[in-house]
């Protein structure tokens, strides 16, 4: 039975469908002049808690449908830290997801960009469908049909279609025009509105997919680009998601082992037992969620979401350990809510690490946007025939559950929710040997979310213009955790220094 989960029914991660992409096959050349003749009007930021004093906010307007710009528009929220020294232009930043809000991300990361801000205006933005840019949502779950995991293929497809219609109703027309192809085109409109002839871009995690797509769509408009925590361009969603599940479980195992070695670990002092206790805690919260008032509950899916947030960075582990202790001892999830930055009523009591006012952002926006974009970016779909193959479905379930009993089932559900929908774009699969200036890719050997081999494969696919930095470290992405990576990325973005051949950073 669905509950009004704080993450707004992650089960209802429910998503998605497909997006109407503007394609090269459309012979009609739409008039986009008015979108490329705008300028960003910067002003004081409102409702940005913790923002630096010099941060400014603005917006740009982009067409809902690039093939038919008369159908409507979307306003994209932006913010920037103005350059403090000799300005060489703007550096747009995407912090990942898909579904991660860039305006909030820049507020939280402002100090880390101080050196780059000597030469660039550092610009964050909420992509279409994300944050405060026409956010997609599936509502509060009250009108959501049953979950699509069922015994027969027809029921799966029928329920997935019903869920998509609910999400589309709550999201509005942007739901049909989400996806990286369109976000990349938005990126080019932003570049022009900022007054830059070339795009200077720093993409983390999913942001590397966005950057790679831009090199395929606008190769001659690429300036200096860094892609850190490199996403795959070739693996279908089924395979890509399983790799992500495996990485999350590895990170969780490492945390649980660390916790068990420290006094007071609520999961126990034996690593094997602690792993089982974590799995049991998720199940217990799903069976008996914690009531938070106003018909809102904190369940196992919310805990899984919090774990996924905390495990990317080792310095969050002590906080996560204490937050879990609060849940087990007192059924108090407030520390976990702070960890994920999810504000729920009453706001004074539950105010946490959320750094941007979220009153206009649906609590399920991240999960819904993530799945919508991934479905839109993937041409592969499980067919009715495949879904009817009980052995194949059982094999998938077993495979994902073996990869992670905690993260696997929910992530597989995201894959199944794309089943039966028209396929997404195949443009991304075709990107190779881009004709751009040289740019930097960062792959971290111990990355739990984007494995190092993806960085190698993507560098080879993009061609000799892609220079790979081999970072022998841990954690998701390298810029914020490695002084070596930060120095090499800054030297390239500020001074154009890349050298010849591959680059290397050792463990720190």
Secondary structure, 3-state, 152-212? CHHHHHHHHHHHHHHHHHHHCHHHHHCCHHHHHHHHHHHHHHCCCCCEEEEEECHHHHHHH
Task: Please give the pLDDT value at position 250.
Answer: 86
- Whole-angstrom distance, CA of residue 182 vs CA of residue 64: 9
Residue 24 pLDDT greater than 80, yes or no = no
Task: Please give the pLDDT value at position 356.
Answer: 40
Lowest mean pLDDT among 150-164, 238-252, 408-422, 475-489: 150-164
DSSP-derived secondary structure for 425-436: --TGGG--S--S
Task: Please give the pLDDT value at position 343.
Answer: 36
Residue 123 pLDDT greater than 60, yes or no = yes
| Cβ within 8 Å of residue 236, ≥6 positions away | 378, 380
The pLDDT tens digits for 146-182 are: 665 555 666 767 777 788 888 889 999 999 999 999 9
Q: How far apart are the first and last CA of the chain?
A: 47
Give the pLDDT mean for 4-17.
Answer: 30
Give the pLDDT mean for 328-333.
Answer: 91
Task: Please give the pLDDT value at position 313.
Answer: 75
- Whole-angstrom distance, CA of residue 44 vs CA of residue 49: 13
**Cα–Cα distance list, 488 to 176, 286, 413, 469, 470 (Å):** 39, 45, 39, 9, 11
DSSP 8-state symbol, 475? S
Task: Please give the pLDDT value at position 39.
Answer: 95
Q: If one looks up domain 1-508 in CATH, what number appears?
A: 3.40.50.1820
- Check whether the bond before 180 is cis (ω within 30° of 0): no
The pLDDT tens digits for 371-394 are: 899 989 999 877 767 777 778 878
Task: Please give the pLDDT value at position 2.
Answer: 25
Residue 504 pLDDT greater than 90, yes or no = yes
Task: Please give the pLDDT value at position 349.
Answer: 29
Nearest CA to 478 out of 440, 503, 447, 448 is that of 447
Give the pLDDT mean for 316-332.
Answer: 91
Phi, psi of 411 (to 5 degrees): -70, -35
Look up tokens 């206009």; give the residue: 360
- Whole-angstrom distance, CA of residue 90 vs CA of residue 72: 27
> For all residues of the chain together, what is the average pLDDT?
84
Per the CB < 8 A criterion, the answer to whether 83 and 61 are in contact is no
Lowest mean pLDDT among 17-26, 50-59, 286-295, 412-421: 17-26
Residue 351 pLDDT greater than 80, yes or no = no
Residue 34, judged by CB atoms within 10 A of its CB (0-12, 13-18, 19+), counts as exposed
Task: Please give the pLDDT value at position 5.
Answer: 32
Residue with the bigger pLDDT between 342 and 479: it is: 479
- Whole-angstrom distance, CA of residue 84 vs CA of residue 171: 39
| Strand 90-94 with 199-204, pairing | parallel
The pLDDT tens digits for 449-472 are: 898 999 999 999 999 999 999 999
Give the pLDDT mean for 287-311.
Answer: 84
The pLDDT tens digits for 261-289 are: 998 899 999 999 999 999 999 999 989 99
Q: What residue segments make up the domains of the chain, in order of their start?
A: 1-508
Residue with the bigger pLDDT between 208 and 310: it is: 208
- Whole-angstrom distance, CA of residue 101 vs CA of residue 131: 5
Task: Please give the pLDDT value at position 340.
Answer: 61
Give the pLDDT mean for 94-114.
Answer: 90
- Whole-angstrom distance, CA of residue 44 vs CA of residue 40: 13
- % of the chain exceeding 90 in pLDDT: 53
The pLDDT tens digits for 76-93 are: 999 999 999 999 999 999
């Amino acid at each position: 039975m669905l509950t009004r989960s704080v993450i707004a029914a992650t089960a209802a991660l429910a998503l998605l469908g497909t997006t109407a992409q503007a394609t090269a096959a459309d012979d009609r050349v739409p008039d986009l002049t008015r979108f490329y003749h705008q300028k960003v009007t910067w002003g004081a930021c409102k409702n940005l808690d913790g923002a630096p004093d010099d941060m400014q906010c603005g917006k740009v307007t982009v067409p809902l449908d690039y093939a038919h710009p008369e159908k409507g528009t979307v306003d994209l929220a932006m913010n920037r830290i103005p350059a403090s020294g000799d300005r060489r232009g703007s550096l747009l930043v995407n912090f990942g997801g898909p579904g991660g809000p860039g305006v909030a991300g820049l507020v939280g990361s402002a100090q880390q960009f101080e050196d780059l801000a000597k030469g660039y205006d550092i610009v964050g933005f909420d992509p279409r469908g994300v944050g405060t840019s026409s956010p997609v949502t599936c509502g509060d779950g009250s009108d959501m049909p049953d979950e699509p995991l069922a015994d027969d293929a027809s029921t799966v497809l029928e329920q997935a279609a019903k869920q998509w219609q609910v999400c589309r109703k709550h999201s509005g027309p942007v739901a049909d025009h989400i996806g990286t192809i369109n976000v990349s085109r938005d990126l080019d409109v932003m570049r022009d509105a900022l007054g830059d002839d070339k795009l200077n871009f720093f993409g983390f995690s999913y942001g590397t997919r966005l950057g790679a797509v831009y090199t395929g769509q606008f190769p001659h408009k690429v300036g200096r680009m860094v892609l850190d925590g490199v996403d795959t361009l070739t693996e279908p969603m089924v395979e890509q998601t399983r790799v992500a599940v495996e990485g999350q479980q590895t990170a969780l195992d490492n945390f649980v082992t660390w916790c068990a070695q420290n006094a007071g670990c609520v999961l126990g002092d034996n690593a094997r037992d602690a792993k089982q206790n974590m799995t049991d805690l998720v199940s217990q919260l799903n069976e008996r969620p914690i009531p938070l008032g106003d018909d809102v509950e904190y369940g196992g899916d919310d805990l899984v979401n919090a774990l996924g947030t905390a495990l990317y960075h080792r310095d969050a582990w002590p906080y996560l350990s204490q937050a879990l202790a609060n849940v087990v001892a007192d059924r108090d999830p407030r520390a976990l809510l702070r960890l994920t930055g999810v504000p729920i009523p009453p706001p004074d009591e539950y105010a946490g690490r959320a750094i941007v006012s979220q009153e206009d952002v649906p609590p399920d926006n991240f999960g819904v946007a993530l799945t919508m974009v991934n479905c839109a970016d993937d041409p592969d779909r499980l067919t009715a025939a495949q879904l009817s193959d009980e052995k194949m479905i059982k094999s998938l379930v077993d495979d994902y559950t073996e990869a992670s009993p905690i993260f696997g089932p929910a992530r597989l559900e995201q894959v199944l929710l794309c089943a039966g929908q028209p396929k997404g774009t195949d443009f991304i699969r075709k990107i190779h040997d881009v004709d751009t200036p040289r740019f930097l890719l960062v792959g971290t050997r111990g990355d739990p979310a984007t494995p190092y081999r993806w960085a190698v494969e993507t560098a080879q696919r993009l061609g000799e213009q892609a220079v790979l930095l081999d970072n022998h470290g841990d954690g998701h992405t390298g810029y914020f955790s490695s002084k070596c990576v930060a120095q090499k990325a800054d030297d390239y973005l500020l001074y154009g220094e890349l050298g010849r051949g591959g680059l290397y950073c050792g463990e720190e």
